[in-house]
Chains A and B, each alone.
Chain A
Amino acid sequence: MKPFDIVIVGGGGAGLYAAMEAMKTNPALNIAVLSKVYPNRSHTSAAQGGANAALANTAKDDTVELHIFDTIKGSDYLADQDAVEILCSEAPKIIRELDNIGTPWSRLEDNTIAQRPFGGAGRPRCCYCADKTGHTILQTLYEQCLKKGVFFFNEYFALQLSVNGSRMKGLIALNIKTGKVEAFPARTVVFATGGYAKMYWNRSSNAAGNTGDGQAIAYRAGIPLKDMEFVQFHPTGLRKSGLLVTEGARGEGGYLVNAAGERFMSRYAPEKMELGPRDLVSRSIETEILQGRGFDSPAGKYVHLDLTHLGADLIMSRLPQIREMSMYFEGVDPIEEPIPVRPTAHYSMGGIDTDNFGRTVMDGVYAAGECACVSVHGANRLGGNSLLDILVFGRLAGRTAAEEARRFEPAQIGAEELKDTEAALRSYMRPSGHFERYGTLREELGQTLGMNVGIYREASKIRKGIEDLAALSERFRHIRVFDTSDIFNTNLLQVLELKNMLDLAETVASGALAREESRGSHTRTDFPVRDDEKWHKHTLATLDRNGVRLGEKPVSMGRYELQERTY
């Protein structure tokens, strides 16, 4: 097969932007985008709230500087300041570019792009399209890629990198429609496979496929993962399903209320109230619940997100999706009743370690979007900064890969390697010694993570979590794929995704145990304060023969000195 110059794995916002930019940078390149779902199905579509950019349309005194500062402070000073500078200064350009190519941004009265307040931001700078921002951005990018004739391999599941020593030769993937294992010899591979927060399963706002496939593939190929212990819990997940009620609901003026009828955020963030940063609001809700001030129900304890005072008009015009979701999944109409919510695992700050241009330590391998960790979010991502991240760094990674692709010699992937891979997949279907069910293991994975490596963490609990994970990995060796068909074997895909989550969960738990401090989303009850002396640094998780090996990497500082983070 003719080698590709660039193979992009993932058709979400990051992958599509990378593809568009790579084509623009060098139209002569042979570029492919692989995705396990049709690109327009990617999880980017679920982002409701918006994307930050200091356009200064709504607040005339907003500046890129302020955006940088908010992001660094929000990250609990773990973000790399040079990366944040790129993120925020590219932001206005990229939002306008999207406007230019068709994203239907909501508008202000003067017909400019509308912006609204969002958690942790000092100015209203979150650009939005009602509550379907991610959906419309993804549609726009997909449309533009169709227009440009990007070569899509839809419903292909990436399995592994083909590596010879330190030389990357390309990617091996499963054609879901046929069940064939296929080789994608490539000079460069860009991972854009999204996050891993689905490992918390029922307590996660993520799509079923946000299983960290790209991170797991990179990890198994020896590429380090950075800051994996940082998983963001969104304050307002629906009680029953974990599905998300966007921060937009609080941005528009929603209240958080406990069982005693108090707007309890006054205790934790008297100034910002409901618009405090996510980690803080999540911890506040969890504390209210732990201290017995939550509501009780068979589906678990929760608090109220009250929108009733906003009125039917505003709810229907600005938050229609939220209303629909509350009705579909909780049976509650927010015009009339408050929505039952509790924190839900939402975003993975950690990911494949890259530099500011998307390069990993392995020649020819790049990463961008939620699957990468540049890091611009540090210990806590601000709402509206992730869509921005995938756009800005998706574009940068695409450009870098395009510029560098021709430096790497093409290579072929041997037939032997494909055969071995296929045999490994087939072996899951063999009855002898294979009896464990996917559903059971996945359920237990979610439970132990939620209980032991969730919002509040401590050494003894994390150790218990690590033990559980080891036991689950052991049991995984006996997992059985009961569906033996070739065509669209979704049972096989589930099992492959479970393997990825198991591998990554170990890095999350190990990082959480090592990091003896509380910072951003990572809260250790046994080490309740931030410890800059020991822990103002990134963790790096690398796979070696005995499992996770932890290393570290300094944070790149700039204009902003370490400060206590209060709101």
Chain B
Amino acid sequence: MTGALELHTEEKRDITLRVFRFNPQVDSKPYFDDYTIQIEKGITVLRSLNYIKEHVDASVSFRAFCQAGICGSCGMRINGISKLACTTQVWDELSKCREAGIIKIEPLRNMPLIKDLIVDMDPLVEKMKQYSNWIETRMPESEIGKKEFLVSEEEFRKYDKATDCILCASCVSECTILRAHKEYVSPAVLLKSYRMNVDGRDAIHDVRLGELVKDHGVWDCTHCYRCQETCVKHIPIMEAIHGIREDAIEVRGVRDTSGAKHAEAFMEDIEKKGKLVEATLPIRTNGVAWTLQNLLPMAIKMILKRRTPPPPPLVKPAKGMKKFREMFREMTEHVRAEQKSHKK
């Protein structure tokens, strides 16, 4: 299947889009179709898909609407990474192909597949409802529309970036926990929850937080940073996740069963079952202190922050693993002690 998509005289090349296909009505399992078309520099993946749909194979199905990176419709995996088709340049993808000249296009993960590149967004919407992703205003009913809230620059900054989220679900697709647990709150909903919780106009902060610390909530996140690395709007999602955790410990205390349980489970995992996969620890690149800081559950960190001498000094990489073990054991003792004193 071939064709040509041109705008004007720019560099051109034959490029293959290897597109994931699945129509549940007729296909027993998914497969890939290759479409080779001539594409010039400056063309986006979405325009290439449009071209294929209009001139080569009308049955290829995907969502797209604004074509300008603002509506969030066109999230898909391009060469294995979830992103927006409408803001992704074909040319930029060429260096990322596994097989030279073949760009692989697949649907987002972690959401039920509907057809080809289209996945079901309803589960995400349901989670937005479950975690009250809205403002319940503090303004009395009779005053609504009559006066404005005064919002300081400082407060505005807390949620400004988070309101960039276009619910494209790219982060959702990349989330490591969601792959195992579909019930997990998901990064986008954590971000939105955080955005609501730091908004001074909102009256249901505690209700939302109460839901967030339950099972499948904020404590389940593994801190893998995948969501943040993926976010098409470059939103610091991890700040939101940290923010919720700190807030949870601040408001609900370390004793809060979900936080404490989470910390305990984490330590057990590492100690007893030996689940600490050393090879995956970013010690080499980031050093021991960074790794501890970013790997440990927030609950543990918060305890350490208050109770122990400042976190261990930065140790140079390389033979870090032994040092890491030592420091980890030391910290664990502190946490244990802390939790015991609470349980009494």
Contacts and interface: CB of A to CB of B under 8 A. Distances in A.
27 contacts: A37-B63, A38-B125, A40-B71, A43-B65, A45-B71, A46-B71, A94-B145, A95-B148, A96-B145, A99-B148, A102-B134, A102-B199, A130-B160, A143-B133, A146-B128, A146-B129, A147-B136, A154-B121, A207-B71, A208-B66, A299-B7, A324-B69, A437-B55, A483-B61, A487-B114, A488-B61, A489-B61
B61 A490 contact: yes
What are the nearest 4 A-B pairs in CB distance?
A: A298-B8, A439-B54, A102-B135, A143-B134
B145 A144 contact: no
Nearest to A439: B54
Nearest to A138: B71
B25 A486 contact: yes
Contacts of B147: 96
Size category, A interface:
35 or more
Interface of B: 7-10, 23-26, 42, 44, 53-55, 57-59, 61-73, 87, 89, 114-116, 118, 121-122, 125, 128-129, 132-137, 139, 143-153, 156, 159-160, 163-164, 166-167, 196, 199, 201-202
A209 B66 CA distance: 8
Given A40-B72, A100-B148, A241-B68, 11 more contacts: A93-B146, A107-B153, A111-B150, A132-B163, A209-B65, A298-B8, A328-B89, A331-B42, A438-B54, A488-B61, A490-B62
Contact of B163 (A94, A104, A207): A104
A491 B53 contact: yes
B68 A240 contact: no
A7 interface: no
Contacts of A154: 121-122
Contacts of B71: 37, 40-43, 45-46, 207
Given A129-B163, A208-B64, A147 B132 contact: yes
A351 B58 CA distance: 31
Nearest to B162: A104
B65 A111 contact: no
A529 interface: no
B160 to A, nearest CB: 6
Contacts of B61: 483, 488-490
A466 B152 CA distance: 56
Best-surrounded residue of B26, B66, B159 (most CB of chain A within 10 A): B66
A399 B220 CA distance: 44
Contacts of B24: 487
B134 A147 contact: yes
B42 A491 contact: no
A42 B72 CA distance: 10
Given A37-B65, A111-B150, A207-B65, A491 B59 contact: yes
A112 interface: yes
A100 B58 contact: no
Contact of A481 (B58, B121, B122): B58
Nearest to A495: B58
Interface string A25-51: 000000000000110111101100000
Interface string A86-128: 0000000111110111101111011111000000000000000
A46 to B, nearest CB: 5
Contact of B166 (A135, A244, A490): A135
Contacts of A46: 66, 68, 70-71
A475 interface: no
B135 A112 contact: no
Nearest to B132: A147
Nearest to A97: B145
Contacts of A298: 7-10
A435 interface: no
Contacts of A481: 58
A297 interface: yes
Contact of A437 (B54, B68, B132, B164): B54
Given A243-B68, A321-B70, A490-B61, A139 B163 contact: yes
A486 B61 CA distance: 12
Contacts of B8: 297-299
Interface in A66-93: 93
B69 A111 contact: no
A97 B25 CA distance: 47
Contacts of A113: 148
A269 interface: no
Contacts of A487: 23-25, 114-115
Contacts of B72: 40-41
Contact of B87 (A244, A328, A438): A328
Contacts of A45: 66, 70-71, 166
Contacts of A321: 70
A482 interface: yes
A147 B128 CA distance: 10
Contacts of A240: 7, 42
Given A41-B72, A106-B156, A485-B26, A132 B146 contact: no
B59 A485 contact: yes
A344 to B, nearest CB: 12
Given A102-B135, A112-B148, A41 B65 contact: yes
Given A46-B66, A207-B65, A438-B54, A100 B7 contact: no
A310 interface: no
Contacts of A485: 23, 25-26, 59, 115
B145 A93 contact: yes
Nearest to A143: B134
Interface in A244-263: 244
Interface string A302-314: 0000000000000
Most buried by A among B44, B71, B150: B71
Contact of B121 (A38, A55, A97, A297): A38
Interface in A469-510: 481-491
Interface string A190-230: 00000000000000000111000000000000000000000
A40 B148 CA distance: 25
A549 interface: no
Nearest to A321: B70
A144 B55 CA distance: 42
Nearest to A486: B25
A543 interface: no
A362 interface: no
A488 B63 CA distance: 9
B50 to A, nearest CB: 8
Interface in A378-418: none
Given A101-B135, A132-B163, A482 B67 contact: no
A177 interface: yes
B69 A325 contact: yes
Interface centre among B10, B53, B68, B156 (most CB of A within 10 A): B68
A52 interface: no
Given A40-B72, A111-B151, A112-B150, A482 B58 contact: yes
B134 to A, nearest CB: 4
A488 B118 contact: yes
Contacts of A325: 68-69
A38 B167 CA distance: 11
A136 interface: yes
B56 to A, nearest CB: 10
Contacts of A489: 61
A133 B59 CA distance: 36
Contacts of B135: 101-102, 140, 143-144
A130 B161 CA distance: 11
Contacts of A112: 148, 150
Name the residue among A102, A130, A154 with the largest chain B CB count within 10 angstroms.
Answer: A102
